[in-house]
Amino acid sequence: MVLEAGVKPYLHTLFSEPCLDKSGKLVGVIVDGKSGRGVIRAKYFVDATGDGDLCYRMCFETYESPRRQPPTTCVYLEGWDSERFHDLLKAHRHEFNIPEGYAWGAKIPGTEIYMLAGTRIYGVNCADINDLTKAEIEGRRQIRAMMDLVRKYGGDYKMGLVSLPATVAIRETRHVKCQYQISDEDAMTGRLFHDAIANGSYRLDTHHQDKPGLTFKYLDGTEVYERTGYPREIGRWRDVTPVNPTFYQVPLRALIPQNSTNVIIAGRMLDASEIAFSGIRVMVNMNQTGEAAGVAAYLALHKNISVSELSSEDVRQTLTKGGSIII
Ligand SMILES: Cc1cc2nc3c(=O)[nH]c(=O)nc-3n(C[C@H](O)[C@H](O)[C@H](O)COP(=O)(O)OP(=O)(O)OC[C@H]3O[C@@H](n4cnc5c(N)ncnc54)[C@H](O)[C@@H]3O)c2cc1C
């Protein structure tokens, strides 16, 4: 699809530094890759690095949540048996120094292979190279420890490691201060925005940094604390109401960094407070921010205007023409 659209991809290429003209305007990005160092020049840029690397190095204001969601190394396994695995883990995880986190997984459709997202690496900031290195090593150590634990105590239960992913999976690092920060209340009450470019219905889902497990907050006011191997704790974060919102929205302003003329963001570095981010961060929502950022960059280029001058109605109409559901 990328090639069919006439886009020139650069694989195995990392953004390193912004390239500014004398007036301080971003005119290119310095990249490092197999052929060494180079510059990709452009008029408009979309920062989709997850960590907001471009915005950070442009010295745009960024911030981090004090309880940033921890990363996880996933794994493909064969011979998965949820009950036996979790019983063994609960009984012996201390011996193998496996921290208690939250385990989620599913069979890969059409196969007997199980994808487990079951490690948890606490206290690391994956936008920092030292912490990212530590997280990469620790995530793999935890997988190895799980395999060793099953080998030692599993008896006739055999679990095989099929493959590891190329990198640790990162839930959250920096956020970029934008024209608007989506507040927890905005998401929890399903606030509608005049410049909405994305709609999400995934429950608010906080993987805890300061305790095991995760907390789901549903738009109907239900709250569920889940900790693998323990009963669910079900409560409410607000009283019962006759009508509940069924979705929340992402406004275009949460993708336009403050003081930016030609940089837009897409993805998990968007401007959202802690609980709002916990639901908005999922793929179906991030895809919508990517599409909106691309359309916004196209319109700004076409009209030769700053991204701060964009008409959100133009962006919404163009998205609608492209088949997006814009409410
Ligand atoms: C363990 C785990 C389980 C999850 N489970 C689910 C789930 O079940 N369902 C769901 O919908 N969501 C899930 N999520 C959330 C969701 O996957 C992420 O929030 C989402 O993928 C973030 O998308 P993104 O494009 O913003 O960031 P990322 O997916 O992190 O993509 C950023 C990309 O930028 C690249 N990059 C970074 N820095 C640079 C640079 N300097 N130069 C060039 N490239 C760079 C990275 O290599 C990466 O490819 C999960 C997340 C994690 C970590």
Q: Which of 171, 172, 179, 173 is nearest to 264 (CA)?
A: 179
Judge if the beta carbon of residue 14 lies within 6 A of ligand 1.
yes
Sign of CA dihedral 191, 192, 198, 201: positive
Choose which residue among 142, 282, 287, 289 to substitute to test ligand 1 binding: the one with the highest number of ligand atoms within 8 A of its C-beta. Answer: 282
**pLDDT range class, residue 298, cuts 50, 70, 90:** very high
From CA 174, how far away is CA 52, in angstroms rounded?
Answer: 6
For ligand 1, what atom is nearest to the CA of residue 267?
26
The helix/strand/coil state of 300 is: helix
From CA 302, how far away is CA 296, in angstroms rounded?
Answer: 10
Q: Which of 93, 126, 150 is nearest to 209 (CA)?
A: 126
Residue 229 has pLDDT above 90, yes or no: no
Determine the residue type at 14.
Answer: L
Judge if the beta carbon of residue 70 lies within 6 A of ligand 1.
no
- For the stretch 77-129, pLDDT in tens is 999 999 999 999 999 999 999 999 999 999 999 999 999 999 999 999 999 99
Q: Which helix (H) or strand (E) covers residue 288, if one does?
A: helix 283-303
Residue 135 has pLDDT above 90, yes or no: yes
Instruction: Tell me the CA–centroid distance for residue 50 and ligand 1, in Å.
Output: 6
From CA 116, how far away is CA 106, in angstroms rounded?
Answer: 7
> Helix 129-153 crosses helix 82-92 at what angle (to 10 degrees)?
110
For ligand 1, what atom is nearest to the CA of residue 69?
53
> 3-state SS string over 63-127?
EECCCCCCCECEEEEECCCHHHHHHHHHHHCCCCCCCCCCCEEEECCCCCCEEEECCCCCCCCCC
Instruction: Tell me the CA–centroid distance for residue 171 and ligand 1, in Å.
Output: 7
From CA 270, how far away is CA 256, in angstroms rounded?
Answer: 9
Minimal-distance CA residue to ligand 1 atom 28? 50
From CA 70, how far away is CA 105, in angstroms rounded?
Answer: 17
pLDDT-above-70 percentage for the chain: 100
Torsion region of 298: left, alpha or beta (phi above 0 gives left; psi -120 to 50 gives alpha): alpha
Minimal-distance CA residue to ligand 1 atom 9? 282
Domains present along the chain, CATH in parentheses: 74-163 (3.30.70), 174-321 (no CATH)
